[in-house]
């Protein structure tokens, strides 16, 4: 697995919270994030890295982890997908 950095459109609310709204994929397609289920500090041992882990629901039942690490967003990807 590899760490793949991605562009993310976020909402910075009045309380200082950051909520990711859209993930922009390689084909410039905006993928909406329907819900953030959990935010917790986590290390990603599979691909390396450590930061805030957002457990996001992209489509019904499509859950992916989105990591926020020192100003950058990334997802864990299988090598063969990239």
Which of residues 25, 48, 59, 62 is near other proteins by CB under 8 A? 48
In degrees, rounded to 5, the angle at the alpha carbon of residue 66 between the alpha carbons of residues 16 and 11 is 30
| Residue 82 token pair | 């990239």
Residue with Cβ nearer other proteins (19 or 42): 42
80 lies in the binding site for other proteins (CB under 8 A):
no
66 lies in the binding site for other proteins (CB under 8 A):
no
Which of residues 8, 20, 23, 44 is near other proteins by CB under 8 A? 44
Residue with Cβ nearer other proteins (47 or 77): 47
């Amino acid at each position: 697995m590899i760490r793949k950095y991605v562009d993310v459109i976020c909402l910075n609310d009045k309380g200082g919270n950051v909520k990711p709204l859209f993930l922009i994929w390689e084909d410039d397609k905006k993928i909406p994030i329907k819900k953030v289920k959990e935010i917790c500090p986590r290390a990603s041992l599979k691909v390396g890295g450590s930061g805030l882990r957002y457990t996001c629901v992209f489509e019904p039942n499509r859950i992916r982890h989105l990591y926020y690490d020192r100003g950058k967003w990334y997802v864990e990807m299988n090598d063969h997908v990239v």
